[in-house]
């Protein structure tokens, strides 16, 4: 007898919000999911990929019952144990990241609705019909206008409130449930990012449906210091695009330099290919300290919190353009423009100006007026050597350096006229300025480092936004069959632990015909190394989402287009419905899309939520060594864990014994080890023999290259049949397998986790 479930009022409301009656696809089981709706999926993931906690601290200090000692099995006054406290902190970090992007999306949406109206149509260009894969999958809505995006962002806001509530004293008591909530928050982060970037693409006319975006200049030498310089720092392009509009409208664009740091820089080059990228987050304090910027405009996320203080030291002026960071400055939004300009020029004042148009006008006028008086220039080699001679190499700088660099050695070598070590250290410097602050002899380390800073300029491709549907149609089959060995996403922050690492990894894997995508500061540092013929990876490799392509997707919020591409493979290529159907999409990606994220420099809370969002979608992420300080990973224990899947064709559970992918969130100690791990984490149970053989070929060859020869210790776990063995290693691997008594096993026809755990999703839903 068919059971007809009566819709609750809440479900009716959701169906109304997502216009369920519009039949572009049937509505799946979880439109606008709330905390419990995808919990079963999370618990299934967490069964294999158990949380690994490395507490930063023995204590909980979040309420006045504490401080509570949670070490050695103790519980706090509220009953919380150390594992649950770590999970709670992780949830808080993911919520910070999620709200940063969601608030960015919400703000940009308000700005653009004000400018274009809520009915402004979403048009992502000729080659993108599936415009919002995350939104369609999670929310169940096909957004048609900017106004529809508002419905989406309000859903995200609501969920953030419920999730944050759970971190209050005396609530959630299970680390697994906190992790499920962190996964939920981070999935929502990808929704919020998608809202932000779709709004930007539509509202600012950023590139879309195109791969070959312009190559733009990067590096501080790309900035013409003879002109007035406006430096934009942060992530939100409302201000930067308005500055460019103002310059264009007033025929000033040839007379004023617009440069950016961090994601605002990437966004600005999506608007104007004449804008300059100074560099990633790590270059922020260096550049500000040079005083080259006449006016610094800040917006939100990853901006120095001491910007007005640093600006004062070099006579730069600051305009805080968003309410997220107002620095205690006077709010001059409603003031007369000329009065603000006068006070900034004559009294050297900084202001908060929350109206982008007014901020833009003020910035240009102030920069033009004060630039001729600017007497700031790079330090000379001789001056640096003299300053360095004060250093006694006491070691305090090394003690406070987050990247553990022995800066004292670099400075003392420089004092002798040898710049080599300092140049190397500059590439490792994350730009926090702690060494400068702590030096007991007040050696101006940052100033001295200017002589080690490369004066080179590099080429980076402007961010192109979403992957095109047409590209997905071309690569869907080779990715899921394994003949394109993997889709890599280099995401996250800065140059931690070394600036060359990301470029080296991108080069290695693009050569090996992986599809390499990049976003944010990782996209910038990838372009800050020159290879053969003095070319960067953006000049050496094609910009297509195809084998061997190096694709700059865009800023941090463009990460949603990478998760979106994975969803598109399931929807466009495999024809699985996505509407309100998150579990099916994630299950498909986990078992069949050989994708791997590399958040090598990750340090921020946003990077935590971006990565954790990929994890819920079934994409493993490799982090750099310092990221062990995030204090949580998702690790399996190789063959000792549960690698059972449902073979959906045979409708039976099969114990594959194959740890693919082996981990979901993993820290590699070195770039070399990460390069051995990447091909392994791209292995999927769905690989054809040909695809598996290609993937194993890369795994073995990189292992031999970096691990001193031989075969990987776990190679037998990934060989199902003789046909999986790469031709070039046939003899060696066959001999090894025979020696250890390896037995062949049948590949699984249609691997899925659906059917192996309690879920609302029927097994038929994964059969396409």
Partner 1 sequence: MAMIPLHRVNVLTGIKSARLIEDASQYANFILKAKRPLLVLGPLLSEWSLDGKLAIEYALEIAENANIPICATATVKGKMVELGTKPDSVYDAVEIVNHLKDPEWQGVRKEGNHDLVIFFGIRSDMEEQCLSVLKHFAYKHLKTMTLDKYYFPHANYSLPNFRKDEQWKGFLEELIANLTKEG
Q: Between vectors from CA 237 to CA 368 and to CA 308, what angle results, nearest 5°?
A: 55
The Cα 385–Cα 417 span in angstroms is 7
Q: How far is the CB of 700 from partner 1 (least distance, A)?
A: 14
Q: Which of 69, 212, 249, 338 binds partner 1 (CB under 8 A)?
A: 69
Q: How far is the CB of 343 from partner 1 (least distance, A)?
A: 40
Q: Which is nearer to partner 1, 244 or 623 (CB)?
A: 623
Return the range that interacts with partner 1 (CB under 8 A); candidates 259-267, 463-471, 634-642, 651-659: 634-642
Q: How far is the CB of 505 from partner 1 (least distance, A)?
A: 14
Rounded to whole angstroms, what are the CA distances from 361 to 183, 244, 315, 340, 398? 42, 10, 20, 10, 43
Residue 466 Cα to chain centre, angstroms: 15
Q: With left for phi above 0 and alpha for psi between -120 and 50, is residue 326 left, alpha or beta? A: alpha
672 binds partner 1 (CB under 8 A): yes
The Cα 200–Cα 267 span in angstroms is 9
57 binds partner 1 (CB under 8 A): yes
Cβ–Cβ under 8 Å, residues 561 and 191:
no
The Cα 621–Cα 547 span in angstroms is 20
Q: How far is the CB of 630 from partner 1 (least distance, A)?
A: 9
Return the range that interacts with partner 1 (CB under 8 A); candidates 207-215, 398-406, 424-432, 537-545: 398-406
420 binds partner 1 (CB under 8 A): no
- Three-state SS at 277: strand
Q: Which is nearer to partner 1, 86 or 555 (CB)?
A: 86
Q: Between vectors from CA 578 to CA 518 and to CA 104, what angle results, nearest 5°?
A: 45
Q: In the beta sheet, which residues pair with residue 655?
A: 644
667 binds partner 1 (CB under 8 A): yes
The Cα 144–Cα 294 span in angstroms is 41
Element (H, E) at 318: strand 317-320
For CA atoms 382, 386, 391, 393, give the dihedral sign.
positive
List the interface residues with partner 1, window 473-512 (CB under 8 A).
Answer: 497
440 binds partner 1 (CB under 8 A): no
Q: Which is nearer to partner 1, 247 or 702 (CB)?
A: 702
Give the 3-state DSSP-derived string for 36-63, with helices as H, strands as E and coil as C: CCCHHHHHHHHHHCEEEECCCCCEECCC
225 binds partner 1 (CB under 8 A): no
The HSE-up count of residue 119 (CA atoms within 13 Å, CB side) is 0
Q: Which is nearer to partner 1, 666 or 718 (CB)?
A: 666
The Cα 391–Cα 380 span in angstroms is 18
Q: Which is nearer to partner 1, 40 or 628 (CB)?
A: 628
List the interface residues with partner 1, window 367-396 (CB under 8 A).
Answer: 395
For the record, the structure tokens of 234 come out as 């942060």
Q: What is the DSSP letter of 279?
A: E
Q: How far is the CB of 86 from partner 1 (least distance, A)?
A: 9
Q: What is the DSSP letter of 552?
A: E
Q: Which of 37, 58, 330, 355 binds partner 1 (CB under 8 A)?
A: 58
Q: Which of 29, 214, 402, 548 binds partner 1 (CB under 8 A)?
A: 402
Q: Which is nearer to partner 1, 75 or 473 (CB)?
A: 75
Number of residues that bind partner 1 (CB under 8 A): 46
Q: How far is the CB of 55 from partner 1 (least distance, A)?
A: 5
633 binds partner 1 (CB under 8 A): yes
Q: Which of 15, 255, 511, 673 binds partner 1 (CB under 8 A)?
A: 673
Q: Which is nearer to partner 1, 64 or 72 (CB)?
A: 72
Q: How far is the CB of 727 from partner 1 (least distance, A)?
A: 25
The Cα 89–Cα 96 span in angstroms is 11
Per-position DSSP letters for 525-543, written without gaps between them:
HHTS---GGG--HHHHS--
Cβ–Cβ under 8 Å, residues 498 and 428:
yes
Backbone angles phi, psi at 290, to 5 degrees: -70, -25
Q: Which of 71, 205, 418, 437 binds partner 1 (CB under 8 A)?
A: 71
145 binds partner 1 (CB under 8 A): no
Cβ–Cβ under 8 Å, residues 19 and 141:
yes
Return the range that interacts with partner 1 (CB under 8 A); candidates 199-207, 371-379, 633-641, 757-765: 633-641
Q: Which is nearer to partner 1, 239 or 495 (CB)?
A: 495
Q: What is the DSSP letter of 227?
A: S
List the interface residues with partner 1, window 683-742 (CB under 8 A).
Answer: 706-710, 713
Q: How far is the CB of 68 from partner 1 (least distance, A)?
A: 10
214 binds partner 1 (CB under 8 A): no
Return the range that interacts with partner 1 (CB under 8 A); candidates 287-295, 539-547, 611-619, 627-635: 627-635
The Cα 33–Cα 47 span in angstroms is 21
Q: Which is nearer to partner 1, 637 or 651 (CB)?
A: 637
Q: Point out which residues bind partner 1 (CB under 8 A).
A: 52-59, 69, 71-73, 82-83, 395, 398-402, 404, 497, 625-626, 628-629, 631, 633, 635, 637-638, 666-670, 672-673, 676-677, 706-710, 713
């Amino acid at each position: 007898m068919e059971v007809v479930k009566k819709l609750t009022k809440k479900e009716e409301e959701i169906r109304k919000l997502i216009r369920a009656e519009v039949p572009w696809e049937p509505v799946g089981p979880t439109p606008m999911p709330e905390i419990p709706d995808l919990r079963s999926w999370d618990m299934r993931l967490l069964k294999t990929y158990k949380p690994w906690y490395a507490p930063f601290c023995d204590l909980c200090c979040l309420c006045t019952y504490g401080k509570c000692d949670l070490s050695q099995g103790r519980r706090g006054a509220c009953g919380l144990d150390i594992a649950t406290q770590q999970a709670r902190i992780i949830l808080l970090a993911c919520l910070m990241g999620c709200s940063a992007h969601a608030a960015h999306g919400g703000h940009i949406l308000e700005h653009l609705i004000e400018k274009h109206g809520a009915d402004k149509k979403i048009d992502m260009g000729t080659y993108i019909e599936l415009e919002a894969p995350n939104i369609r999958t999670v929310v169940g809505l096909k957004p048609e206008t900017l106004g529809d995006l508002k419905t989406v962002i309000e859903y995200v806001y609501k969920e953030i409130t419920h999730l944050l509530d759970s971190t209050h004293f005396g609530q959630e008591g299970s680390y697994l449930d906190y992790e499920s909530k962190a996964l939920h928050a981070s999935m929502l982060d990808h929704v919020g990012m998608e809202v932000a970037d779709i709004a930007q693409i539509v509202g600012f006319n950023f590139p879309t449906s195109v791969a070959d975006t312009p190559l733009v200049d990067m590096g501080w030498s790309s900035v013409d210091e003879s002109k007035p310089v406006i430096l934009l720092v942060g992530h939100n392009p409302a201000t930067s695009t308005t500055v460019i509009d103002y310059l264009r409208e007033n025929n000033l664009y040839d007379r004023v330099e617009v440069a950016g740091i961090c994601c605002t820089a990437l966004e600005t080059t999506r608007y104007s290919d004449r804008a300059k990228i100074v560099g990633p987050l790590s270059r922020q304090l260096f550049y500000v300290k040079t005083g080259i910027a006449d006016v610094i405009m800040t917006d939100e996320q990853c901006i120095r919190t001491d910007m007005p203080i640093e600006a004062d030291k070099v006579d730069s002026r600051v305009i805080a353009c968003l309410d997220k960071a107002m620095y205690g400055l006077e709010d001059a939004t409603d003031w007369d423009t000329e009065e603000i300009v006068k006070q900034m020029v004559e009294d050297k004042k900084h202001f908060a100006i929350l109206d982008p148009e007014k901020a833009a006008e003020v910035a240009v006028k102030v920069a033009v007026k004060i630039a001729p008086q600017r007497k700031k220039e790079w330090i000379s080699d001789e001056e640096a050597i003299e300053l360095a001679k004060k250093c006694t190499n006491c070691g305090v700088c090394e003690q406070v350096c987050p990247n553990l660099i022995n800066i004292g050695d670099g400075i003392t070598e420089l004092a002798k006229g040898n710049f080599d070590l300092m140049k190397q250290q500059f590439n490792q410097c994350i730009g926090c300025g702690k060494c400068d602050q702590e030096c007991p002899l007040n050696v101006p380390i940052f100033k001295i480092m200017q002589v080690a800073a490369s004066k080179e300029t590099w080429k980076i491709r402007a961010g192109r936004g979403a992957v095109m549907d047409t590209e997905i149609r071309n690569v869907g089959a080779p990715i899921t069959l394994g003949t394109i060995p993997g889709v890599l996403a280099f995401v996250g922050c800065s140059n931690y632990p070394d600036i060359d690492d990301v470029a080296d990894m991108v080069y290695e894997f693009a050569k090996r015909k992986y599809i390499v995508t990049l976003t944010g500061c990782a996209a910038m540092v990838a372009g800050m190394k020159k290879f053969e013929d003095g070319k960067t990876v953006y000049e050496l490799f094609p910009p297509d989402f195809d084998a061997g392509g190096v694709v700059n997707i865009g800023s941090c919020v463009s990460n949603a287009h990478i998760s979106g591409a994975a969803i598109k493979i399931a929807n466009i290529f495999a024809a699985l419905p996505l509407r309100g159907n998150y579990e099916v999409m994630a299950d498909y990606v986990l078992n069949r899309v050989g994708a791997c994220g590399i958040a090598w420099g990750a340090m921020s809370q946003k990077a935590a939520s971006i990565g954790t969002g990929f994890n819920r979608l079934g994409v493993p992420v490799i982090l750099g060594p310092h990221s062990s300080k995030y204090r949580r990973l998702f690790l399996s224990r190789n063959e000792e864990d549960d690698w059972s899947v449902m073979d959906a064709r045979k409708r039976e559970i099969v114990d594959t014994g194959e740890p693919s992918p082996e981990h979901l969130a993993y820290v590699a100690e070195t770039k070399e080890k990460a390069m051995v791990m990447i091909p392994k984490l791209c292995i999927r149970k769905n690989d054809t023999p040909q695809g598996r053989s290609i993937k194993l070929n890369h795994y073995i060859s990189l292992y031999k290259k970096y691990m001193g020869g031989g075969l990987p210790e776990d190679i037998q776990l990934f060989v199902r049949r003789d046909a999986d063995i790469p031709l070039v290693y046939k003899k060696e691997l066959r001999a090894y397998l025979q020696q250890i008594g390896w037995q062949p096993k049948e590949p699984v026809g249609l691997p899925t986790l659906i059917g192996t755990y309690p879920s609302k999703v029927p097994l038929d839903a994964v059969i396409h």
